[in-house]
Chains A and B, each alone.
Chain A
Amino acid sequence: AQSVTQPDIHITVSEGASLELRCNYSYGATPYLFWYVQSPGQGLQLLLKYFSGDTLVQGIKGFEAEFKRSQSSFNLRKPSVHWSDAAEYFCAVGPKLAAGNKLTFGGGTRVLVKP
Chain B
Amino acid sequence: NAGVTQTPKFQVLKTGQSMTLQCAQDMNHEYMSWYRQDPGMGLRLIHYSVGAGITDQGEVPNGYNVSRSTTEDFPLRLLSAAPSQTSVYFCASRLSSGGWENIQYFGAGTRLSVL
On A, residues with C-beta under 8 Å from B are 4, 6, 9, 32, 41-46, 49, 51, 90, 92, 94, 98-108
Contacts and interface: CB of A to CB of B under 8 A. Distances in A.
Contacts of B107: 43
B104 interface: yes
Contacts, number: 66
Interface residues of B, number: 29
B109 A49 contact: no
> Chain B contact residues: over half helix, strand or loop, or mixed?
strand
A100 B56 contact: yes
Contact of B106 (A43, A100, A108): A43
8 contacts: A43-B90, A98-B99, A101-B33, A101-B94, A102-B48, A104-B45, A105-B43, A107-B42
A44 B92 CA distance: 9
